[in-house]
């Protein structure tokens, strides 16, 4: 939650640190993907939403090309860099995210001045909720305004992707920053990853007496991991053999034909993407026609597909999902890139505590690290706070 009090506190701390008031404070949220996993880079559909956990940056432009950055997150000191001669791969740790978006704006012909920046974030790190994009989207929103670049959301999405892909070196798609930049309170972001077409779909779990629980398994995921790259390679191979530009162009009706053309592993990967795309479309339809209480089976089917066909789950995620379901959640799935991170469980308000307790107990019994469990609600996308 962002209150006026903590915006003031951030500005005060900025002034103490850098000796002058910031030009402004911008915030951008993390995201949870309701459904549509590993469909983004297949030019398909996703349905994420911006969450009520955000990164906030107080920022002041300088007269030179120096960047000074500090995070309220413990264990990091002041980071200094120079925007002149900035190149992909420079910087380390979290400083790569602000530097990456500054570089991406430079690549678009924008003169980016040096700046002082103070970061405060309550998006959990590495939990699959895109704490990195929250930082990038907050910073690019600030720089977009302060440089007068005035790019629209679609350009900012692509600039942020370039920052992550080229500057940071993480091969991510456009889902996370689209949710963070284009999200809206009470809505999920139905995004066509081929052309960035967005429709805001009402998703008000609360009105249906439901909560969306996030279960952070604390198992670290890494996009640099070979698992992610090999999944992408399988998808590209599948598209090539099936003679389409991207798997988005393959409908469920072609899966039988595909089974005669693809090797077993490629078929499984393709089947996940093709059916997942279809589940996103179905979810949007069901949300509109019947509301959140009816999407449970689609969430469940998505998890099974990721576990068995795309093979990106892990024992902790499966246990979280199975335990939540056994204790009253109406639908549950891993969310994010996989191999760790978080699961989501759509749960009747009255059963929230039972699900929480059961998951904590099952993790203890299995000898897993205690999970972190919290609720999220669809919140506003990136905005200027002061
Ligand atoms: P995710 O985006 O899913 O949370 P990533 O590995 O992409 O995971 O990004 C996590 C990284 O973001 C952390 O390793 C850290 O470098 C950086 N980060 C996120 N939030 C903060 C913060 N408040 N302060 C400093 N660094 C942060
Ligand atoms: Mg990330």
Instruction: Kindly tell me if the per-residue pLDDT of 76 is higher than 80.
Output: no
pTM exceeds 0.75 for this model: yes
Residues with a known catalytic role: 176
pLDDT category, 6, cuts 50, 70, 90?
confident
- Same domain? For 227 and 188 the reply is no
Core vs surface per residue 204-243: b (16+ CB within 10 A) or e: bbeebebbbbbbbbbbebebeeebbeebbebbebbbeebe
Rounded distance between C-alpha atoms, residue 183 and residue 25, angstroms:
19
Q: Whose CA is nearest to atom 27 of ligand 1?
A: 94
- Same domain? For 182 and 235 the reply is no
- Same domain? For 163 and 18 the reply is yes
Residue pointed to by tokens 């597909």? 305
Tally the C-alpha atoms within 13 A of residue 236's C-alpha that lie toward its C-beta. 7
Give the ligand 1 atom nearest the CA of 71: 24
SS3 (DSSP) at 175: helix
CATH number for position 249? 3.30.70.890
Q: Which ligand is the nearest neighbour of the Cα of 32?
A: 1
Q: Summarize the confidence of residues 116-139 as an average pLDDT.
A: 94
Q: Whose CA is nearest to atom 9 of ligand 1?
A: 132
- Same domain? For 91 and 195 the reply is yes
- Same domain? For 174 and 54 the reply is yes
Pocket test of ligand 1: the residue of 70, 125, 164 to mutate, having most ligand atoms within 8 Å of its CB, is 125
Q: Summarize the confidence of residues 345-368 as an average pLDDT.
A: 98
- Identify whether the C-beta of residue 255 lies closer than 8 Å to the C-beta of residue 274: yes
Instruction: Kindly tell me if the per-residue pLDDT of 224 is higher than 50.
Output: no
Pocket test of ligand 1: the residue of 54, 94, 340 to mutate, having most ligand atoms within 8 Å of its CB, is 94
Q: What is the reported pLDDT for 2?
A: 66
- Same domain? For 17 and 129 the reply is yes
What letter does residue 253 receive in the DSSP assignment? Answer: G
CATH number for position 121? 3.30.230.10
pLDDT category, 223, cuts 50, 70, 90?
low
Pocket of ligand 1 (CB under 6 A): 71, 73, 76, 93-94, 119, 121, 125-132, 135
Residue pointed to by tokens 């993390």? 30
Q: What is the reported pLDDT for 295?
A: 98
Q: In what order do the strands lie in the sheet with 210-216?
A: 331-335, 342-348, 210-216, 372-376
**80 Cα to the center of ligand 2, angstroms:** 22
- Same domain? For 117 and 220 the reply is no
- Same domain? For 189 and 146 the reply is yes
Tens digits of per-residue pLDDT, 89-108?
988 899 999 999 999 999 99
What letter does residue 368 receive in the DSSP assignment? Answer: P
Q: What is the CA radius of gyration of the chain?
A: 21
Q: Of all helices (H) and strands (E), which one includes residue 207?
A: none
Give the ligand 1 atom nearest the CA of 222: 6
- Same domain? For 265 and 166 the reply is no
Instruction: Kindly tell me if the per-residue pLDDT of 222 is higher than 70.
Output: no
- Same domain? For 164 and 280 the reply is no
Q: Please count the structural domains in the chain.
A: 2
Tens digits of per-residue pLDDT, 267-305?
999 999 999 999 999 999 999 999 999 999 999 999 999
- Of the chain, the percentage scoring pLDDT greater than 90 comes to 91
Rounded distance between C-alpha atoms, residue 339 and residue 65, angstroms:
39
Pocket test of ligand 1: the residue of 126, 131, 160 to mutate, having most ligand atoms within 8 Å of its CB, is 131
- Of the chain, the percentage scoring pLDDT greater than 70 comes to 98
- Same domain? For 194 and 272 the reply is no
Rounded distance between C-alpha atoms, residue 61 and residue 110, angstroms:
14
Weakest-pLDDT range from 2-16, 156-170, 306-320 = 2-16
- Same domain? For 196 and 82 the reply is yes
Do the strands 45-61 and 115-121 form a parallel or antiparallel pair, or are they unpaired? antiparallel
Q: Which ligand is the nearest neighbour of the Cα of 94?
A: 1
Instruction: Kindly tell me if the per-residue pLDDT of 112 is higher than 70.
Output: yes
Q: Provide the domain limits for residue 36.
A: 4-201+379-384
Q: Which of 177, 176, 164, 174 is nearest to 89 (CA)?
A: 164
């Amino acid at each position: 939650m962002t209150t006026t009090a903590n915006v003031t506190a951030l500005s005060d701390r900025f002034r103490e640190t850098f000796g002058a008031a910031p030009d402004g404070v911008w915030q951008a949220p993390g995201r949870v993907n309701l459904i549509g996993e590993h469909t983004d880079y297949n030019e398909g559909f996703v349905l994420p939403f911006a969450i009520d956990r955000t990164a906030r940056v107080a920022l002041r432009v300088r007269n030179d090309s120096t960047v000074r950055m500090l995070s309220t997150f413990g264990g990091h000191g002041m980071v200094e860099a120079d925007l002149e001669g900035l190149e992909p791969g420079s910087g380390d740790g979290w400083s790569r995210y602000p530097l990456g978006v500054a570089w991406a704006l430079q690549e678009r012909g924008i003169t980016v001045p040096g700046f002082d920046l103070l970061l405060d974030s309550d998006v959990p790190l590495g939990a699959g909720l895109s704490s990195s994009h929250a930082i990038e989207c907050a910073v690019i929103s600030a720089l977009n305004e302060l440089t007068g670049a005035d790019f629209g959301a679609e350009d900012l999405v692509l600039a942020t992707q370039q920052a992550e892909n080229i500057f940071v070196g993480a091969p991510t798609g456009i889902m996370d920053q689209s949710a963070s930049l284009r999200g809206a309170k009470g809505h999920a972001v139905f995004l066509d990853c081929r052309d960035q077409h967005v429709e805001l779909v009402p998703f008000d779990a609360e009105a249906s007496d439901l909560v969306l629980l996030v279960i952070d398994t604390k198992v670290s995921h890494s996009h640099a991991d070979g698992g992610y790259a090999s999944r992408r390679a399988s998808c590209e191979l599948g598209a090539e053999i099936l003679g389409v530009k991207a798997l988005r162009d393959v409908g469920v009706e072609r899966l039988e034909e595909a089974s005669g053309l693809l090797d077993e592993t490629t078929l499984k990967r393709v089947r996940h993407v093709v059916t997942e795309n279809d589940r996103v479309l179905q979810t949007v339809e069901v949300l509109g026609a019947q509301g959140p209480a009816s999407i449970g089976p689609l969430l469940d089917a998505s998890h099974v597909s990721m576990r068995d066909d795309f093979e990106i789950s892990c024992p902790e995620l499966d246990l979280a999902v199975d335990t939540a379901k056994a204790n009253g959640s109406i639908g549950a799935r891993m969310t994010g890139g996989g191999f760790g991170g978080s699961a989501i469980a759509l749960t009747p308000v009255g059963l929230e505590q039972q699900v929480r307790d059961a998951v904590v107990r099952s993790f203890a019994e299995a000898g897993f690290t205690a999970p972190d469990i919290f609720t999220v609600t669809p919140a506003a996308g990136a905005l200027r706070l002061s």
